[in-house]
C-alpha cells in the first residue's frame, strides 16, 4: 500500500539509486576478488622481469667475480631503485651476504629471511613475507657467470602496501564514478519522470490505476456494446454487452486480436481511420440481429490511432416499435369510426328536430343495411379480430377522406399463428392504404381496391389506387428510408412496409403508370393458428 502512494518521480529516482548502489556493491565485490589478484600478478611479473635484468647486468656479474668492482653493485642497484620505484634490490653472494641494500649499513650482513635459500640452489621463484622493510612481494633470481656457473642471487622486493594502495585507488575511482553516475542518474530520472508524467497527463500511478479500474467497470456495465480497433483495424477491446450481442448473432469466438474485417467483413471502419470523421446512427445487421451503430475516431495528439464503435441491439426496440405502430393504427381506426359515428348522430339529431321522421327512417335503414353488409363481409371472412377491426376503421377513415375504399376478400383469412404476424400485416395494409389516400389527394377519381387472398399458408395482398402513378426514377427509391417527393421528415411508410415484408420473408412488387394509378402486390408466408378450420373453408371457396 505504501508503494502505491509514492509519486512517479520518487519511484523512478529511488529505482535509479537502488540500481546504482547495487551495481556499486557488485563492482566492489568483483574488484576485491579479481582486481587485487590481477594487480598482484602484474607486480609479480614486474618483479621477476626486474630481477632478471639485474641478474644479467655486467655490473652485478663483474662485482660478484672481482672484489675490486663490488661497489658497482650498490651503485647499479640504486639506479634501478630510482628508475623503477621498487621497495629494494638486494644482490647476495653464494653465502647469502648482502652486496647491495637500500640501507647502506645493512650491506655485508646476511639476508634476513629464510626464503632465500632455494635461489642459492639455482631456483627462480616469488614469495611473500615480512622482512626488514616490512611486508613485501619478493622475486628471487639466480646469477650466473659466462660459464653458466651460479655466482650469486638477486632479490627484488615490492611493498604489499603499494598493492593495497593500488586497490584502494581503484575503489576510490569506482566510487567517484559511481557517485557521478548516481548524480547523473538522479537528474535524468527526474527529467524522465517529468516527461512520462506529461505523457500521462500529470497523473500518478495510483490515479492511473483508479481511472483504469473505473474505465473497465464502466465499459462492462453499460448496455451498449463497445468495440475498439487500432490503426491496423485489429480488435483491441470488447465489452460484455458486445460479446452478448455477438453471441446472439452466432459469433461466439473471442475477437480480441483479430482483424475487424475477418471477424465482421461488412463492419467498415476504414473511412473513420482514414478521415478521422465520425459516422453516427447507422443501421447494421449481424446475422439477423439489428443494431444501431456509431463509429468515432480515437485521436491522440491530433493523430488517429484507432476507432471506437458503440452499438445496441435494436431487435427488441424494433419489435416494440412495430407493436406501437399497430397500436397507433388501432387508435387511428377507432378515431375515424368515432368521427364518422358522431357525424351520423348529428344528421339524425337534425332530422329529429326538424320532424323529418320518414327521411330519418330511410336514412337509418340505409346505414344499417350498409353497416350490416360491410361488417358482415369483413367479420365473416377475416377471423383475426384485431385485423378485422383495423379494416373496419380504415373503411371509416377512407369515407372521412372522401375516398371510395372497397375490400374484396376472395377466401376466408384465418387467424395467424403468432401475434407478431398480425402487427406486420397491419403495418403493411395500413401504410399501403394511407399512401394511396395521400397520393389521390388531388385526383378527381378517388378509388382504392384492396384484395386479400389466402391459399396454402400464403397471403396475397393487392392494393390498387387511381392516383397519379409513380415515375420509373422514383420507383427505384420508394422503399428507401426517408425518401419522399413531398418534403422532409417523410418517406417512412413504404420503408416500414419493406421492413415488415422482409421480416415475414415475403416479397413486394410495384406496378405503376403515370396518370393511371399504382398497384402494390405483396405476398407473405401466413401460418394459421392451430385448430382453425379456415383452411378448409378457403379450399372450398
CATH number at residue 284: 3.30.450.20
Long-range contacts of 468-477 (CB under 8 A, 24+ apart): 468/439, 468/442, 468/443, 468/514, 468/515, 469/512, 469/513, 469/514, 469/515, 469/516, 469/517, 469/518, 470/510, 470/512, 470/514, 470/518, 471/514, 475/510, 475/512
Q: Does residue 215 sit within a domain? A: no
State whether 325 and 309 are in the same domain. no
For the chain, how are helix, strand and coil distributed in percent, rounded to 5? 55, 20, 25
Tens digits of per-residue pLDDT, 141-173? 999 988 899 999 999 988 877 667 777 777 777
Q: Does residue 341 sit within a domain? A: yes
Tens digits of per-residue pLDDT, 14-33? 777 788 778 777 876 776 66
pTM summary value: 0.40
| pLDDT value, residue 483 | 62
Tens digits of per-residue pLDDT, 364-397? 766 655 555 556 567 778 888 878 878 877 887 8
Percent of the chain residues past pLDDT 90, beyond the cut:
12
State whether 339 and 276 are in the same domain. no
**In which band, very low, low, confident or very high, does the pLDDT at 489 lie, cut at 50, 70 and 90?**
very low
Domain membership of residue 357 as a residue range: 318-540
β-pair partners for 140: 125, 155
> Is residue 449 within 8 Å of residue 521, measured between CB atoms?
no
State whether 452 and 340 are in the same domain. yes
State whether 128 and 230 are in the same domain. no
Of 275, 294, 313, the position where a domain reaches its end is 313
State whether 249 and 326 are in the same domain. no
Q: Does residue 3 sit within a domain? A: no
State whether 293 and 347 are in the same domain. no
Q: Does residue 402 sit within a domain? A: yes
Task: Please tell me the total count of domains within the chain.
Answer: 3
Of 313, 338, 364, the position where a domain reaches its end is 313
Q: Does residue 172 sit within a domain? A: no
Q: What is the mean pLDDT of residues 81-106?
A: 89
> Is residue 484 within 8 Å of residue 494, measured between CB atoms?
no
User: Order of strands, edge to edge, in the sheet holding 150-159?
Assistant: 88-92, 150-159, 134-144, 125-131
**In which band, very low, low, confident or very high, does the pLDDT at 48 lie, cut at 50, 70 and 90?**
very high
What's the chain's average pLDDT?
79
State whether 37 and 114 are in the same domain. yes
Q: Which range has the top average pLDDT, 149-153, 339-343, 391-395, 425-429?
A: 149-153
State whether 343 and 378 are in the same domain. yes
**In which band, very low, low, confident or very high, does the pLDDT at 316 lie, cut at 50, 70 and 90?**
low
Lowest mean pLDDT among 90-99, 247-256, 399-408, 527-536: 527-536
CATH number at residue 517: 3.30.565.10
State whether 421 and 401 are in the same domain. yes
Amino acid at each position: 500500500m505504501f508503494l502505491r502512494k509514492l509519486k512517479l518521480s520518487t519511484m523512478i529516482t529511488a529505482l535509479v539509486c537502488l540500481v546504482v548502489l547495487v551495481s556499486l556493491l557488485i563492482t566492489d565485490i568483483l574488484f576485491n576478488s579479481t582486481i587485487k589478484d590481477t594487480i598482484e600478478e602484474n607486480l609479480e611479473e614486474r618483479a621477476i622481469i626486474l630481477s632478471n635484468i639485474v641478474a644479467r647486468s655486467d655490473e652485478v656479474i663483474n662485482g660478484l667475480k672481482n672484489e675490486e668492482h663490488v661497489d658497482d653493485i650498490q651503485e647499479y642497484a640504486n639506479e634501478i631503485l630510482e628508475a623503477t620505484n621498487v621497495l629494494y634490490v638486494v644482490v647476495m653472494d653464494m653465502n647469502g651476504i648482502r652486496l647491495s641494500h637500500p640501507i647502506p649499513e645493512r650491506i655485508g650482513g646476511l639476508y634476513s629471511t629464510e626464503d632465500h635459500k632455494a635461489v642459492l640452489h639455482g631456483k627462480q621463484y616469488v614469495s611473500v613475507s615480512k622482512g626488514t622493510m616490512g611486508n613485501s612481494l619478493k622475486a628471487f633470481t639466480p646469477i650466473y657467470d659466462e660459464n653458466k656457473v651460479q655466482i650469486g642471487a638477486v632479490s627484488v622486493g615490492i611493498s604489499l602496501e603499494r598493492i593495497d594502495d593500488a586497490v584502494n585507488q581503484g575503489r576510490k575511482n569506482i566510487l567517484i564514478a559511481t557517485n557521478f553516475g548516481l548524480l547523473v542518474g538522479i537528474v535524468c530520472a527526474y527529467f524522465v519522470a517529468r516527461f512520462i508524467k506529461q505523457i500521462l497527463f500529470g497523473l500518478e500511478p495510483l490515479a492511473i490505476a483508479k481511472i483504469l479500474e473505473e474505465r473497465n467497470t464502466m465499459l462492462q456495465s453499460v448496455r451498449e456494446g463497445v468495440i475498439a480497433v487500432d490503426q491496423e483495424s485489429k480488435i483491441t477491446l470488447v465489452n460484455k454487452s458486445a460479446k452478448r450481442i455477438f453471441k446472439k448473432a452466432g459469433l461466439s469466438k473471442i475477437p480480441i486480436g483479430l482483424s475487424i474485417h475477418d471477424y465482421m467483413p461488412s463492419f467498415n471502419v476504414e473511412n473513420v481511420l482514414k478521415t478521422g470523421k465520425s459516422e453516427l446512427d447507422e443501421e447494421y445487421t449481424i446475422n439477423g440481429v439489428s443494431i444501431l451503430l456509431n463509429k468515432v475516431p480515437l485521436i491522440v495528439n491530433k493523430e488517429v490511432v484507432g476507432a471506437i464503435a458503440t452499438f445496441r441491439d435494436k431487435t427488441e426496440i424494433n419489435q416494440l416499435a412495430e407493436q406501437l405502430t399497430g397500436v397507433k393504427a388501432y387508435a387511428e381506426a377507432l378515431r375515424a369510426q368515432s368521427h364518422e359515428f358522431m357525424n351520423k348522430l348529428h344528421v339524425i339529431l337534425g332530422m329529429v328536430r326538424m320532424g323529418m321522421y320518414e327521411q330519418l327512417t330511410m336514412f337509418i335503414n340505409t346505414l344499417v343495411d350498409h353497416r350490416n353488409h360491410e361488417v358482415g363481409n369483413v367479420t365473416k371472412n377475416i377471423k383475426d379480430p384485431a385485423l378485422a377491426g383495423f379494416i373496419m376503421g380504415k373503411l371509416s377513415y377512407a369515407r372521412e377522406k372522401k375516398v371510395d375504399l372497397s375490400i374484396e376478400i376472395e377466401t376466408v383469412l384465418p387467424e395467424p399463428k403468432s401475434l407478431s404476424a398480425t402487427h406486420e400485416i397491419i403495418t403493411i395494409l395500413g401504410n399501403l392504404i394511407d399512401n394511396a389516400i395521400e397520393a389521390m389527394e388531388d385526383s378527381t377519381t378517388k378509388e382504392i381496391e384492396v384484395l386479400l387472398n389466402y391459399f396454402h399458408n400464403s397471403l396475397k395482398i393487392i392494393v390498387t389506387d387511381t392516383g397519379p402513378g409513380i415515375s420509373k426514377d422514383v420507383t427505384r427509391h420508394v422503399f428507401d428510408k426517408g425518401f419522399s417527393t413531398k418534403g422532409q421528415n417523410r418517406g417512412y411508410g413504404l420503408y416500414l412496409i419493406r421492413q415488415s415484408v422482409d421480416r415475414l420473408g415475403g416479397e413486394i412488387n410495384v406496378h405503376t403508370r403515370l396518370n393511371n394509378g399504382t398497384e402494390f402486390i405483396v405476398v407473405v408466408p401466413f401460418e394459421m393458428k392451430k385448430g382453425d378450420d379456415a383452411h378448409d373453408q378457403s379450399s372450398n371457396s
